[in-house]
Amino acid sequence: MKVLTSNLLRNLVLCLPVFATCLPIAAVAEEDDRPVIVVPRGGGKETFTRFCTTCHMPDGRGGQNEGGYGADLRVTKLTAEEVVGVVTNGRQSKGMPSFKGIIDDEKIGLVAAYVKTVIKLKE
């Protein structure tokens, strides 16, 4: 944080006199300072499309399928953590498969987040 502030100050000092020519310097300095952020790409949607839509439909509404009656995920009352639990362990007797060992933990987390944000009906 201290480093960041001092760099910001330095950039400011450098930039004030000749604003236009300094912009590239500021850009370079900031790039070095920034922490590396890894953005997960497509994890939740990709996993949902691949593993869930057969029974839950692309919009999550669910319905009758060979295994049972797929829950309507748009209105699930489960929290993201509980969704992780259901996806991991399944509800075998009701036709919801267990994805343990099929989808890795990180992707199960992403798919649960996808269910709770994109699939969830907006109030």
Give the binding site for ligand HEC (CB under 6 A).
51-52, 54-56, 65, 67-71, 73, 76-78, 83, 86-87, 91, 94-97, 99, 111, 115
* In the complex, minimum distance from the CB of residue 104 to ligand HEC, in angstroms, rounded to a whole number: 12
From residue 63, alpha-carbon distances to 52, 66, 89 in Å are 12, 10, 20
Token pair listed for 36? 């590396």
- Beta carbon nearer to ligand HEC, 43 or 56: 56
* In the complex, minimum distance from the CB of residue 39 to ligand HEC, in angstroms, rounded to a whole number: 21
Identify residue 89 by its one-letter amino acid code: N
* In the complex, minimum distance from the CB of residue 7 to ligand HEC, in angstroms, rounded to a whole number: 43
* In the complex, minimum distance from the CB of residue 96 to ligand HEC, in angstroms, rounded to a whole number: 3
- Beta carbon nearer to ligand HEC, 43 or 70: 70
- Beta carbon nearer to ligand HEC, 26 or 78: 78
- Beta carbon nearer to ligand HEC, 11 or 51: 51
Show Cβ contacts of residue 47 under 8 Å, excluding neighbours closer than 6 positions: 103, 107, 108, 110, 111, 114
- Which residues in 61-99 are b (16+ Cβ under 10 Å) and which e? ebeeeeeeebbbbbebeeeeeebbebbbeeeeeeebeeb
